[in-house]
Structure 1
Amino acid sequence: MTGPGTVDAHHHLWNLAARPQPWITGAALAPLARSFHVEDLAPRARAAGVSATVVVQTVCVPGETSELLALAAGGGLVAGVVGWTDLTAPDVADALAALRERPGGDRLVGIRHQVQEEPDPGWLLRPDVHRGLRAVAGAGLAYDLVVRPHQLPAATAAAARLPGLTFVLDHLGKPPIATGALEPWAGHVRRLAALPNTVCKLSGLVTEAAPGRWGSEHLGPYADTVLDAFGPRRLLFGSDWPVCTLRAGYSDVVRTAEQLVAGLSPGERDAVFRRNAVLVYGLDVPVPGVAAT
C-alpha cells in the first residue's frame, strides 16, 4: 500500500549533546533519553518506502528550528520543517522572515507551539496569539496543532477566525484511546473538521493506546472517526518517530496505518500517504501527479 514516494509528515529528531529535551522525564519516557539522528531514521524509512519526511519541533526555543533547517538544507530525507517561534512576540513576522533567510529556510513549511502544555484552555484565542497566527498565515506557512481534547474547542474557534491559515491537527487531538472513550473528543473533532481550512495527521495513536493494545482493532474507532470527519483528502500519515518507539517500531506504525485505511480506494490511500502532505506543506518532492512547489 505504501511504497516509493511515501511521505512521513510527522517525526522528530534531537541531539542531547547539543540541546536538552526537558519534556523527557520519568521512567515511562526513559527510552527516549538519548539522541535520535536522521541517520537512525533513514534505514527504517527506506525499508517502509518513505522517501521524504517532515520533521517537527519538540521544544519551544528558537535555536532548535535553526538547527532543523540546517539539517534540511543538506538535502536527503527531510523535505520540510515545522518549527517554532514565539507567536506572542511583537516582532513575530520579522522572526519568521529571519528563519526564511537562514540556511534551509526554504524548507520551513509550518510552525507549532506546545499548546498541550499551556494551562489556559483558551490560549489559542488570546489576542497576542491571534496576531502571531495571522503572521504565520501571512508567511504562507501552515500551523500544526498539538492539543488535548479539552483544547479542541479553542482550536476550532481559532481556525474559524483565520480562514486563510491551514490548521494541521497532530495526533488526532490525542484521543483517550487507552480508556476506549470516544466522547467528547469525537464531537470536538467533528466540529473542527467542519472547517475547510483544517486537516488532520494520522499520527501519534500508538502512544495514546495502552501498552500492547495499539493494533488496528484498538485504534480503528478513532481512525474511522477522523476518516469520516475530514475525509481521506484531508488526512496525512505521520509516524511520530521516535516517540512511537515507546509502543512500536517504525515498520509496525506504518503497517498499522495501512490497516486503518485499507478500506479506501487506491487513490485515497495515495492521498493519505503521499499527496496530502505535499499539498498541505508545499513540499518540493517528486510525487506522481503533484507538481512540486
Structure 2
Amino acid sequence: MGGRVIVDAHHHLWRPERGYTWLNDPALAGIRRAFTPDELRVELAGAKVDRTVLVEGGRCHVDEAAEFLGYAADTAEIVGVVAWADVADPELAATIAGFRRLRGGELLVGIRSQVQGEADPAYLDRADVRRGLATVAAAGLAFDLVIRVDQLSAAARAAAAVPELRLVLDHLGKPRIDEGTAGLRDWRGPFTDLAGNANVTCKLSGMVTEAGPGWTHEQLRPFVDVAVTEFGAGRLMFGSDWPVCLLAASYGDVRIALEQVLPPPAWDEVFGGTAARTYGLAVDR
C-alpha cells in the first residue's frame, strides 16, 4: 500500500459495568467484557494498522465522551472520536461545545446517535432531527449513520436536505449478507440512492457479523462490489468494528477479508485516505 498510514475508521472500547446494557443479550456473551486501549494496541500491532477512530459504543450517555476523548489524548493510535449525542436534542450545540472543552476535545471528529434503535424508518425526516443534523454540520463535524436497510431511503433524503453535512454510513447500512441474493436485492436500491449524494461516505465495516458464523469471502464480495461501484474508492473506508467483529472473526481476519475482496487499486483510499479526509484526521500525530 505504498507506505500509506493505515487507518481503521471504526472500532469500539467499553467497560460493561458502565452502562452498556445492550451487551446483556445472551448472544453477545463473547464480547461482554472490558475492551481497553491497551488491548486495542496489541490488535493494531498484529494487524499492522497505524491509526484508528474510536466510535461511541451504544451506552447512549454524554458521559462516555469524556472517557473516550481521554483515551484518545493518551493513546497516539486513536486520532479521532465519534461521540454519542442525541441528534434530536435541542441542546445539541451546547453538548458539542462541552465535549470540545474536555481533555482531548480537539480529537472530536464526529457525532453518532443510535438511529438503528428508532422504530420509525422515517426518523431522519423529522424536523427536530434535521435541525440536529444541521447543528452537527455547523460545528464542522461528521455524523455517523448507524441505520437499518429500511432507514436508508430517509438517510438519502436527509443527505440531500443538509448538503453541507458530512454523513458517514456505518456497516453499509447493515444489509442482510446472510440472506445472500435476497439480502443484496433488498439493500441495493436504497443504498444506491444514498450513494448518489456526494456528501456521504461509507464504511466497509460490520460485514462479517452480518454474514454470520461460517462467513466466506464470496459472501462479502457482491456487497463490496456494489459499494465500490456506487461510492468509488474515494468515498469508502475500512472499519474493523472490533470488538463486535469477534463474534465472527478476529481483527486480523477482518482486514485480510477486505483485502481479498477489494480491488487493489482501491486500497490506498479505503485503508486510509478516505478516513483522513472525511474526519480531518492528523494521522501523523
Instruction: Give the TM interval when normalised to the shorter protein.
Output: over 0.9
Aligned equivalents of 2:256, 2:168: Cα separation in 1: 23
The Cα of 1:3 is off from its aligned counterpart by 6.5
Aligned equivalents of 2:3, 2:243: Cα separation in 1: 21
What amino acid does structure 2 have at the position aligned with 1:245? L
What amino acid does structure 1 have at the position aligned with 2:33? R
Moved over 3 A (4+): 1-4
TM-score normalized by the length of structure 2: 0.96
Aligned equivalents of 2:186, 2:39: Cα separation in 1: 38
SS of alignment partner, residue 119 of structure 1:
coil
- Quote the residue 2:280 is aligned against: 282
Q: Quick check: 1:201–1:235 contact (8 Å CA) kept in 2?
A: yes
Q: Which moved more, 1:117-126 or 1:239-248?
A: 117-126
Q: Quick check: 1:5–1:49 contact (8 Å CA) kept in 2?
A: no
What amino acid does structure 1 have at the position aligned with 2:186? P
More helix, by proportion: 2
| 2:249 counterpart of 1:251 | no
SS of alignment partner, residue 54 of structure 1:
strand
- Quote the residue 2:237 is aligned against: 236
- Quote the residue 2:189 is aligned against: 187
Structure 2 unaligned segments of length 5 or more: list them: none
The Cα of 1:16 is off from its aligned counterpart by 2.5
**Residues 93 and 276 from structure 1, CA distance in 2 versus in 1: closer, same or farther, beyond 3 angstroms?**
same
- Quote the residue 1:26 is aligned against: 25
The Cα of 1:210 is off from its aligned counterpart by 2.6
| 2:109 counterpart of 1:109 | yes
Q: Quick check: 2:171–2:205 contact (8 Å CA) kept in 1?
A: yes
Q: Quick check: 1:4–1:50 contact (8 Å CA) kept in 2?
A: no
What amino acid does structure 2 have at the position aligned with 1:168? V
How big is the alpha-carbon RMSD for the aligned residues of Structure 1 and Structure 2? 1.4
Aligned equivalents of 1:2, 1:208: Cα separation in 2: 31
| 2:180 counterpart of 1:174 | no
SS of alignment partner, residue 228 of structure 1:
helix
SS of alignment partner, residue 240 of structure 1:
coil
Identity %: 48
Structure 1 unaligned segments of length 5 or more: list them: 287-291
Count, aligned residues: 282
Aligned equivalents of 1:177, 1:221: Cα separation in 2: 9
Q: Quick check: 2:4–2:272 contact (8 Å CA) kept in 1?
A: no
Aligned equivalents of 2:66, 2:157: Cα separation in 1: 31
Q: Quick check: 1:2–1:273 contact (8 Å CA) kept in 2?
A: no
SS of alignment partner, residue 8 of structure 1:
strand
Aligned equivalents of 1:97, 1:69: Cα separation in 2: 14
For each residue in 1:64-90, what CA deviation from the matched residue of structure 2 results, as whole angstroms up to 9, or x when unmatched?
112101111114211100011122222
Aligned equivalents of 1:96, 1:169: Cα separation in 2: 21
For each residue in 1:195-228, what CA deviation from the matched residue of structure 2 results, as whole angstroms up to 9, or x when unmatched?
1000000000000013112x21110011111110
Q: Quick check: 2:16–2:23 contact (8 Å CA) kept in 1?
A: no
The Cα of 1:230 is off from its aligned counterpart by 0.2
What amino acid does structure 2 have at the position aligned with 1:204? G
What amino acid does structure 2 have at the position aligned with 1:283? L
For each residue in 1:110-142, what CA deviation from the matched residue of structure 2 results, as whole angstroms up to 9, or x when unmatched?
011111110111111111111111110000000
